[in-house]
Chain A
Amino acid sequence: MEFTREIYWNVGHGAATLVPMYLLFIIALAILVYGFRQRIAVYRQGLPLDRTDHLGERVVEMLKDVLLQKKVIHVAWPGLLHGLFFWGFFLLLIGTTLIVIQADFTDLLFDIKFLKGTFYKIFSIVLDLAGLVAIVMLGGLLFRRYVLKPEGLVTKPDDAIMHGLMLTILITGFVIEGARMAVTETGTPLAPWSPVGMAFAGLLSGAGEGTLLTIHKLTWWFHLLLAMAFIGLIPFTKFRHILTTSANYIFADRGPKGKLVSLDLENEESETFGATSLKEMTWKDIFDADACTLCKRCQDRCPAWATGKPLSPMTVVNQIGEAAFTAPDSQLIELIGKDVLWSCTTCRACQEICPAAIEHIGKIIELRRSMVLMEGEFPGDEVMAAMEATEVNGNPLGIGYATRGDWAEGLGVKTVGEDGDVDILYFVGCYASFDKRNIAVARSFIQLCQAAGVKVGILGREEKCCGEPMRKMGNEYLYQTLANENIELINAAGVKKIVTTCPHCYNTLAKDYRDLGLEVEVEPYTVFLERLINDGRLKVTAADLTCTYHDSCYLGRHNDIYDPPRALIRAAGGTVVEMERNRAEAFCCSAGGGRIMAEEKIGERINIRRVQMAQATGVGVLVSNCPFCLTMFEDGVKGAGIEESLRPRDIAEILAERIVK
């Protein structure tokens, strides 16, 4: 027999079918376009932002992300369900398109049929399985949402429409196939190539041919109507994410990760800084809400949310979108809430995991900027005091600037002012300069460099805070003032390479300072030390150490540096017993986002939560490589009452103890 089927069998291939069909299609498309034009007008309330540079690359990335569902399936449950559902539906879409191409064009106009023979057999089985997988996966998603009801998952009537419509379309599809097969294919060698259809045919086998033909025809039109309704509903329901989330992949932030927009403070005409209303957010800030499907992966990973703060990244994103559509004059800070905005530690857990390429952090910072720069408001008096201390002495600790280089006493380290011929400039940072616990880390780092024959220079008392905590709090002005001073010093010193022991300094010098004129290479010390060890310039003895390792946010998620520190621990003879939440899933220590300057007043202490996670691994040492993390963990083990059983240490200290003389 011929392995094919008659397209439009029983429905009719003439104008009586094609005209209403294409008419409905055009109407559905028109509604789709209309719906999106309305939405685009709302996005346009925001400021312009160019996200079409390197358009070719952007589109390629989008295609990869959409077709491979990479970000979605990264979180296997329920990601894989969605992925498989998507592929199923996508295959069905391709299938339908091929049918339309043959039936309404190649066959109609040129008498060419390709849906036959082996190709058709493969076509049949692939689509049948695709449909089955789609139904099963959709059923799984439905079960998760309506029966399992995971905490924090927001379910709206919208969701019911989507699940219902999709399921009905899929099932009616099989009913149509089953009815057709019951009449034309059962018992033929072709039938097994459509196993699901066969099953449905089996269910309908009791009916007489006349009934089957009616069922088939009615269901066919019903299925068409639903499909067209689906198309038309796209802009008005969460279905829109098919287009908006895909578009968001095109409009994504291409990095560098964690780099904020620099405000133009030279412009004397500027009267407002930061954002208070939608007019001051970008169109992307509004569009992100449309790309969001409320999957809550960000909320699930937010350390603030996890410890009782009112901040949910998902809610912030959606409140902005909702305001854009329903209350465009909203005062966003009041709407979202100050406590919400101040709670963010910029740990990036939200953006890293977001399968829709949404940018949560930038919105929060823009709103913070207006609170600080336009109102002089801070989360607490202690933060204002830290800002003022930084203005007076160049560090938020309020310690006299003249002693900034004193930590290096006795180590034979000179300032670049005294001796500019150095291999690296060590940008020390405020905590390593003034905080007793962290001075030990700085000294360890020098010992390691000296053992490796690396000549180190420092800026000494001239060094100022890199400005990162101030910037993340919203104080762009103080940040730029500090940055400009540091950049002038660094450029005058003429150094070729900067190494930092603080990931915040690293991130700021390596990325943010580029906007302000720093071109020198910057490297974090873990990468630097790893290279020294690999090159044989630094030798350490391996002495047993069982420990766990905390991936700091600004080294990990912000810079994807996960392996070098682990390699260093291994070189030191250490065995890392990983915490459950490690690498990109690491749980913040709480001090980012400028919050090192602030008191944590709401909910549980984030740092205590994290040290408890470390303790759960059963090891006695918690290794980190960030002065903020070290400070938070020292605080945390005391607060949790476990200082006898868990010792926070920095990787530099551990290595320094093991230097081969």
Chain B
Amino acid sequence: MKILLVAEYRDGKLLGSVNELIAFAAKMGGDSAMFVVGSEAALPAYDGKLYLADAAACGEFNPDVHKQLLLEVVAKEQPDMIALSHSSYGWDLAPRIAFALKAAQVSEVVEVEDGVLVVSACNAKLRRTVNPKTKQTVVTLQAGAFGLAEAPTGSPTVEKIGAAGGGRLEFGGYEAAEAGGVDLSKAEIIVSAGRGIGKPENVEMIAALAKALKGEYGASRPVVDSGWVEHKRQVGTTGQTVTPKLYLACGISGAIQHLAGMKKSEFIVAINTDKDAPIGDVADVLVVADLKQFVPLLTEKIKLL
């Protein structure tokens, strides 16, 4: 089995998801090679062949050109599988590659069981196993689903590939997220509010608990989308990825996008009325209770300590 890994490069940096790709390749066994439109100055710790195109010349975001270059590498390497991260870059590029290669694309793989690809469905409530029928398969990997026990080492054998111009999309640069204030990625203790808080007034009780614990408060996407909490406190794939010592998920069901943002927390406590909520999969402790009653009570007790 040969896998071609597609790494991501953004804003002058190689994204850490490259390690997840390496871990996946390791899990699958066999050989791997890597492709990235990036820069010599940002190489992954990877002991294999790296096909490198210059992002400055091709554009960091240019699906048509990236696809072209990747197809050239595919033609050379003839991999059985092409793996990308299930990210805004990966899920955009993958279908283009898959179509060109007449390959099946299996999206957001969460695990591999005896060589069989497993993806999730219906807000992480269900799983399904997928059988690709084509010679080559394109897969995208769920963020954080695959990881290495230790940080990878090594340095790649770099083969530069020609830059190409063109592309039908015009990339006009990045716009930073709203600045200032909270940096959850640095917080040691985070209490997060999910849809279960029911109404914006209840954000207060979450913030109060966070304060009692001397931590920060965050929220899942639906809460931010409803305007109850500002975006900079959003935890999840489109918000912040956090790795606190303690993460308290209040009324959060555990949709994949949120889990991806917090499942690397050291200790996770979930407060939810639903015993079967997917958050339970990552939680060290699941307190089955209505957060609207439990959270204030917990806060009071903590304050009395």
Instruction: Compute how far the CA of A253 lies from the CA of B296 in the bound complex, rounded to whole angstroms.
Output: 48
**Chain A residues whose C-beta falls within 8 Å of the C-beta of B226 in the assembled complex:** 381-382, 385
Interface residue A599 (Cβ < 8 Å from any Cβ of B)? yes
Asked whether B296 lies within 8 Å of A382 as measured between CB atoms, the reply is no
Q: Please give the distance in Å from B13's CB to the nearest CB on chain A.
A: 36
**Chain B residues whose C-beta falls within 8 Å of the C-beta of A385 in the assembled complex:** 226
- In the complex formed, the residue of A with least CB distance to B225 is A381
Interface residues as binary, A431-452 with B (CB distance below 8 Å gives 1, 0 otherwise): 0000010000000000000000
Interface of B, helix, strand, loop or mixed by DSSP? loop
**Chain B residues whose C-beta falls within 8 Å of the C-beta of A599 in the assembled complex:** 199-201
Q: Please give the distance in Å from A617's CB to the nearest CB on chain B.
A: 25
Instruction: Compute how far the CA of A114 lies from the CA of B18 in the bound complex, rounded to whole angstroms.
Output: 114
Interface residue A638 (Cβ < 8 Å from any Cβ of B)? yes
- In the complex formed, the residue of B with least CB distance to A381 is B226
Q: Please give the distance in Å from A380's CB to the nearest CB on chain B.
A: 9
- In the complex formed, the residue of A with least CB distance to B226 is A381
Q: Please give the distance in Å from B193's CB to the nearest CB on chain A.
A: 15
Interface residue B227 (Cβ < 8 Å from any Cβ of A)? yes
Which residues in chain B, 150-209, are within 8 Å of chain A measured between CB atoms? 199-201
Asked whether A638 lies within 8 Å of B296 as measured between CB atoms, the reply is yes
Which residues in chain A, 609-641, are within 8 Å of chain B measured between CB atoms? 638-639
Q: Please give the distance in Å from A289's CB to the nearest CB on chain B.
A: 37
Instruction: Compute how far the CA of A436 lies from the CA of B274 in the bound complex, rounded to whole angstroms.
Output: 13
Interface residues as binary, B258-285 with A (CB distance below 8 Å gives 1, 0 otherwise): 0000000000000001000000000000
- In the complex formed, the residue of A with least CB distance to B200 is A599
Instruction: Compute how far the CA of A436 lies from the CA of B293 in the bound complex, rounded to whole angstroms.
Output: 12
Instruction: Compute how far the CA of A385 lies from the CA of B228 in the bound complex, rounded to whole angstroms.
Output: 14
Instruction: Compute how far the CA of A436 lies from the CA of B296 in the bound complex, rounded to whole angstroms.
Output: 18
Instruction: Compute how far the CA of A242 lies from the CA of B290 in the bound complex, rounded to whole angstroms.
Output: 58
Residue A381 contacts which of B201, B227, B273, B296 (CB distance < 8 angstroms)?
B227
Which residues in chain B, 131-145, are within 8 Å of chain A measured between CB atoms? none
**Chain A residues whose C-beta falls within 8 Å of the C-beta of B290 in the assembled complex:** 436
Instruction: Compute how far the CA of A381 lies from the CA of B201 in the bound complex, rounded to whole angstroms.
Output: 15
**Chain A residues whose C-beta falls within 8 Å of the C-beta of B200 in the assembled complex:** 599
Which residues in chain A, 356-409, are within 8 Å of chain B measured between CB atoms? 381-382, 385
Q: Please give the distance in Å from A592's CB to the nearest CB on chain B.
A: 17
Interface residues as binary, A588-601 with B (CB distance below 8 Å gives 1, 0 otherwise): 00000000000100
- In the complex formed, the residue of B with least CB distance to A605 is B201
Instruction: Compute how far the CA of A216 lies from the CA of B29 in the bound complex, rounded to whole angstroms.
Output: 122
Which residues in chain B, 279-305, are within 8 Å of chain A measured between CB atoms? 290, 296
Instruction: Compute how far the CA of A550 lies from the CA of B199 in the bound complex, rounded to whole angstroms.
Output: 25
Instruction: Compute how far the CA of A104 lies from the CA of B143 in the bound complex, rounded to whole angstroms.
Output: 103
Q: Please give the distance in Å from A389's CB to the nearest CB on chain B.
A: 12
- In the complex formed, the residue of B with least CB distance to A598 is B199
- In the complex formed, the residue of B with least CB distance to A398 is B195
**Chain B residues whose C-beta falls within 8 Å of the C-beta of A638 in the assembled complex:** 296
Instruction: Compute how far the CA of A53 lies from the CA of B178 in the bound complex, rounded to whole angstroms.
Output: 64
**Chain A residues whose C-beta falls within 8 Å of the C-beta of B201 in the assembled complex:** 599, 639
Q: Please give the distance in Å from A3's CB to the nearest CB on chain B.
A: 76
**Chain A residues whose C-beta falls within 8 Å of the C-beta of B296 in the assembled complex:** 638
Q: Please give the distance in Å from B120's CB to the nearest CB on chain A.
A: 19
**Chain B residues whose C-beta falls within 8 Å of the C-beta of A639 in the assembled complex:** 201
Q: Please give the distance in Å from A28's CB to the nearest CB on chain B.
A: 60
Q: Please give the distance in Å from A87's CB to the nearest CB on chain B.
A: 52
**Chain A residues whose C-beta falls within 8 Å of the C-beta of B227 in the assembled complex:** 381
Instruction: Compute how far the CA of A638 lies from the CA of B202 in the bound complex, rounded to whole angstroms.
Output: 11
Q: Please give the distance in Å from A405's CB to the nearest CB on chain B.
A: 19
Which residues on B are within 8 Å of A, measured CB to CB?
199-201, 226-227, 273, 290, 296
Which residues on A are within 8 Å of B, measured CB to CB?
381-382, 385, 436, 599, 638-639
Given contacts A382-B199, A382-B226, A639-B201, 9 further A-B contacts (CB under 8 A): A381-B226, A381-B227, A385-B226, A436-B273, A436-B290, A599-B199, A599-B200, A599-B201, A638-B296
For the complex of A and B, list the 8 residue pairs with the smallest distance between their C-beta atoms, beginning with the closest. A599-B199, A599-B200, A381-B226, A436-B290, A638-B296, A382-B199, A382-B226, A599-B201
- CB<8 Å pairs between A and B, sample of 9: A381-B226, A381-B227, A385-B226, A436-B273, A436-B290, A599-B199, A599-B200, A599-B201, A638-B296
